[in-house]
Amino acid sequence: MAVFTFYGDDRIIQVEDTGDHDFTAQEVYSRWKDWVQASDNSKYEIAFRSVAGDQVSPTTFIAPYVFLNTTAGWRIRCHDGDHVMRIDGNLYSEDPDLPMFTPPLDGATVEIIVERSVNAVAISAGGGLDEQGVRDAMTAQGYTTARAPKLDQLDAAVSTRATPGQGLTTPQATSLSTIESRADVATSTRAAAGESAAALSDVGATSIRVAKLDELDAAISSRAAPGQGLTSGQDSKLSSIDGRVDVAVSTRATPGQGLTSPQATQLSSAAADAALAKINAAAAEAAALSLAGQGLTDQQATMILEMYRILGLDPTKPLVHEVDSSGNGSRTAGAEIEQDIATISGGLVVVTRT
């Protein structure tokens, strides 16, 4: 079967090289009608007109004649390569003085043979039947008015459609097999909409509790078990402090009562300050380690220790203010804590850590 490509802008009917380039006048006419109905191809000048079926006597009718609209510029172009092309049927040029064919693009030599019927002027209805006789004969063969419109459904050759088992492409067949393997039970055996929520509610899964699942941002096994909140180094230091703080602080002397008068005289002020500094440093370190052991991070424990020093409670790191007459200056609590002091309009004092 010949294959045609219609180029409306160029008014060319291309006979494609499919190995079968012979065709009938009715065939090319029918394929053109299919092309016109597709998309917006009806906007182009018509390529053919057909005359057929006109009755010239009680038993004879005009055979089909197909005219190529050469007046509008339509031409039939053969495919490339030397070959012979045969056209069966009454195909004529609308204008007898204009050619129906144009050479192939490669300039090859093509022999075109149009085989027209010598008896095409009239076709006998056969057996001397009149119109009613023809109707009766067709009805006897099962051709009814209800079946007649169904012939319009034959808009393509049956051979162009898939045979049984070829309706799907290979990827589609693979996808269908995958779906079949997954749909291993009836959908009706699974929970309907709303049933899953009810089942969760029955086991106590409320919206508030479900939201708390977001708090499980790390595996529980990645966190310390009871008694493992300190590193080995922190644990050693805490044990050392625990060994030293072996009695209640309230059983020891309050400030000023730790020495007798002779002892106080003998102990220089510098020595007393140094001893007191060591005691306070040990106490601060013990407090920081204790806080860390109570669930605070090292950073949180350090922040509390620095607040302790900023308040001037650490005698080993005294809080020192240096402010000029304008109210600007600084204050320090050891080398680790330094703050700028600025007095702005309205008596507002701003303290910023540097």
Structural domain contains residue 133: yes
Please identify every stretch of the chain with a pLDDT value under 50, giving residue numbers as ranges: 120-129, 267
Give the per-residue pLDDT at 75: 97
CA angle centred on 209, ends 208 and 212, rounded to 5°: 95
User: Which residues contact residue 245 at a Cβ distance below 8 angstroms, ignoring those fewer than 6 apart?
Assistant: 286
Task: Say whether both 237 and 149 belong to one domain.
Answer: no
The predicted-structure confidence for 130-177, as pLDDT tens digits, reads as follows 556 667 667 767 777 788 888 888 888 887 887 877 777 888 888 888
Give the per-residue pLDDT at 118: 53
Among 158, 183, 217, where does a domain finish?
158
Task: Say whether both 153 and 237 belong to one domain.
Answer: no
Structural domain contains residue 253: no
| Token pair of 93 as six digits | 């040029």
Give the per-residue pLDDT at 320: 92
Task: Say whether both 13 and 154 belong to one domain.
Answer: yes
Task: Say whether both 148 and 233 belong to one domain.
Answer: no
Cα(263)–Cα(344) distance, integer angstroms: 50
> CA-CA distances (angstroms) from residue 270 to 253, 275, 283?
20, 9, 20
User: Which residues contact residue 23 at a Cβ distance below 8 angstroms, ignoring those fewer than 6 apart?
Assistant: 1, 2, 4, 15, 87, 88
Task: Say whether both 22 and 144 belong to one domain.
Answer: yes
The predicted-structure confidence for 234-246, as pLDDT tens digits, reads as follows 777 877 777 777 7
Task: Say whether both 30 and 134 belong to one domain.
Answer: yes
Residue 101 contacts residue 75 (beta carbons within 8 Å):
yes
Among 106, 125, 158, where does a domain finish?
158
Structural domain contains residue 341: no
Beta partners for residue 321, in sequence order:
331
Among 104, 137, 158, where does a domain finish?
158
Task: Say whether both 146 and 239 belong to one domain.
Answer: no
Task: Say whether both 16 and 103 belong to one domain.
Answer: yes
Angle separating helix axes 298-310 and 269-293, nearest 10 degrees = 140
| CA nearest to 101, candidates 109, 30, 32 | 109
Residue 85 contacts residue 22 (beta carbons within 8 Å):
yes
Structural domain contains residue 30: yes
Task: Say whether both 137 and 240 belong to one domain.
Answer: no
In the chain, how many domains are there?
A: 2
Structural domain contains residue 317: no
Task: Say whether both 66 and 147 belong to one domain.
Answer: yes
**Mean pLDDT of all residues belonging to the chain:** 81
Structural domain contains residue 95: yes
Task: Say whether both 142 and 51 belong to one domain.
Answer: yes
What backbone phi and psi angles, to 5 degrees, belong to 24? Answer: -105, 160
Range of the domain at 267: 229-244+260-296
Structural domain contains residue 194: no
The helix (run of H) or strand (run of E) holding residue 233 is: helix 232-244
Give the per-residue pLDDT at 91: 95
Structural domain contains residue 20: yes
> CA-CA distances (angstroms) from residue 279 to 24, 93, 245, 276, 301?
117, 121, 11, 5, 19
Task: Say whether both 8 and 126 belong to one domain.
Answer: yes
